[in-house]
Amino acid sequence: MKRLAVYCGSASPEDPRYVGLAREVGRTLAERGIGVVYGGGKLGLMGAVASGALAAGGEVIGVIPEALVSGEVANHDCTELHVVKGMHERKAAFTELSDGFLTLPGGVGTMDELWEAVSWAQLGYHAKPVGVLNAFGFYDGLLEFNRKMIQTGFIRAAHAGILIAEHDLDMLLTRMAAHEPHRPIFAMKLDEL
């Protein structure tokens, strides 16, 4: 994995552990020679990931919609800053520029990005690993819901392993690097669906 799209919140929660985690993730990725592709902002966890990676000499590629650049939200310290028209173009760029997706704690936008990466993997638009860092148990409820979707059959058995979740960043990166693509829906026959 040469680059990972990092999905995370643009907010800074009161609990300082979240911003500290984001900064540490950025630093760790840079130290491993893994570039960061992210939302291009300087606020919240997004900004902390970028600053952690940049401080460690890493590559940071920001992808930000035009509407956010004018609000002084854009991080002009990035190695590269791509300004795109809107959110659809932003997410397409994340997929194009990265070798996988790493999700840290975040809100609605983070969930949108995560589930799109999972959905696109199921369909066959990409065959990249989709990881969730379940730091501080933040994603316990989401992972339980994912298990329920698998158990009830809304996620096919062939796709049950798309979402890779770990509490530990090292273990998560190891599992993501060992990712084996699954059989996507586009390659399935009617009787397999």
Q: What is the pLDDT of residues 57-106, one digit of tens each?
A: 999 999 999 988 877 689 999 999 999 999 999 999 999 999 999 999 99
Distance between CA 148 and CA 102 in Å, rounded?
22
Domain extent at residue 77 = 3-177
Assigned domain for 153 exists: yes
The total number of structural domains that make up the chain = 1
Indicate the residue type of 84: V
Indicate the residue type of 138: F
Assigned domain for 152 exists: yes
Assigned domain for 125 exists: yes
- Of 38, 26, 73, 37, residue with least CA distance to 169: 26
Assigned domain for 77 exists: yes
Distance between CA 152 and CA 147 in Å, rounded?
9
Distance between CA 151 and CA 145 in Å, rounded?
10
Q: Which residue has the tokens 């158990």?
A: 151
Assigned domain for 187 exists: no
Residue-wise pLDDT tens digits, 27-60: 999 999 999 999 999 999 999 999 999 999 999 9
Assigned domain for 183 exists: no
What is the share, in percent, of the chain residues with pLDDT greater than 70? 99
What does the block give as tokens for 22?
């984001």
Assigned domain for 184 exists: no
Torsion over CA of 164, 61, 18 and 15, rounded to 10 degrees?
-150
Assigned domain for 61 exists: yes
In this structure, what CATH number is given to the domain that contains residue 60?
Answer: 3.40.50.450
What does the block give as tokens for 150?
């698998």
Computed over every residue of the chain, the mean pLDDT equals: 95
What does the block give as tokens for 99?
């070798």
What separation in angstroms does the CA of 97 have from each of 18, 65, 87, 175? 25, 16, 15, 20
Residue-wise pLDDT tens digits, 10-22: 999 999 999 999 9
